[in-house]
Amino acid sequence: MQILFVCDPLESFKPYKDSTVAMMRAAQKRGHGVWACGPDDLQISWQGSAQAFRIEAQRLRLLPVQASASAPWVSIDETRLLQPSDIHLAIMRKDPPFDVHYLVATQMLDRLMSHGVPVINRPQALRDHGEKMAVLEFAELAPPGMVSHDMASLRAFAEEHPQVVFKPLDAMGGAGIFLSHAKDPNLPVILETLTEHGQRAIMGQRYLPEIAQGDKRILLINGEAVPYCLARIPPEGASRGNLAAGGRGEARPLTDRDQEIARQLGRILAARGLFLIGLDVIGNCLTEINVTSPTGFQEITQQTGYDVAEKFVTALEAQFGAAPEAPHRAQP
């Protein structure tokens, strides 16, 4: 297959830890062509009912893994305009925030799908499953929570629980997350800041002290759980386990409860076009459903030997067919 990764700029990647890099390496290892572009490289024009879709993309060659984290990890073999017929599959791996630029990117990918190119995760499903609010469909698995822009209501929610977590609805990596309580003198400014003085909805959740044992990332590939999770353990004295916030990742086998949650959600969400999902579980509770660019591939593989990226690519082949590389066509 010719696989197009729609992603952040290549120079922003950390090749020793980024799951997208692991996917690219696994795809190349299995004989697939690897291309990359950013959302702004998707373009469409039309005249009447005739449409032309173009993608300014780079053909990549993944270099051997080096001991030095600063060593080059990729070579760009060519840059050219692609047509939809040049691509067998597109993988959306642009990180949040889910802002208007991300929204437009999903709309452009809808048009790419209309030209016959499968996209994962499906653009409509990305729009329908906000990573924080998606847990409401499975609220029986989640801790008590609230979504509101009203600061008085959010303060009242804090009074109902010993401790609460407040977080924005469109961020990632632990950004903007606050641990607070009803008597916290900083609570008013926390709510003012997060809600932009009542103009922006945020989420509150009851704090789960089990976070000390790790915020578990459970990966689902086409509805099936990877047998190991990545427990993100907060630094001493901290409340966030996100790796981007300084947490330590520890791969562990799934517990019976982890597997129960994965089974309950897996096939439902896969049927909606969510091929790759990252469930966040603290203790026995589901806290988030990550659908934009779930991570944890490399840490799990390095610690357990279970090759998550190879599992991902073989699942793609089973779903979409292991087509040989398409011939390079000269552009008109």
311 among known catalytic residues? no
| Catalytically annotated residue among 240, 242, 310, 311 | 240
Long-range contacts of 189-195 (CB under 8 A, 24+ apart): 190/166, 191/151, 191/154, 191/155, 191/166, 192/151, 194/166, 194/167, 194/168, 195/149, 195/151, 195/154
| Catalytically annotated residue among 18, 41, 288, 299 | 288
121 among known catalytic residues? no
| Catalytically annotated residue among 25, 41, 290, 311 | 290
| Catalytically annotated residue among 25, 93, 216, 217 | 217
257 among known catalytic residues? no
288 among known catalytic residues? yes
| Catalytically annotated residue among 93, 132, 206, 311 | 132
132 among known catalytic residues? yes
284 among known catalytic residues? no
| Catalytically annotated residue among 25, 122, 232, 311 | 232
Sign of the CA dihedral 114, 118, 123, 125?
positive
> CA–CA separation, 60 vs 243, rounded Å?
27
Question: Rounded to 5 degrees, what angle do the CA atoms 104, 109, 115 make?
Answer: 140
258 among known catalytic residues? no
| Catalytically annotated residue among 167, 206, 216, 311 | 167
Tokens in use for 158?
């804090």
What is the C-alpha R_g of the chain?
A: 21
| Catalytically annotated residue among 41, 280, 299, 310 | 280
65 CB neighbour count, 10 Å cutoff: 11
232 among known catalytic residues? yes
Q: Are the CB atoms for 93 and 121 separated by under 8 Å?
A: no
Could you list the active site residues?
132, 167, 217, 232, 240, 280, 288, 290
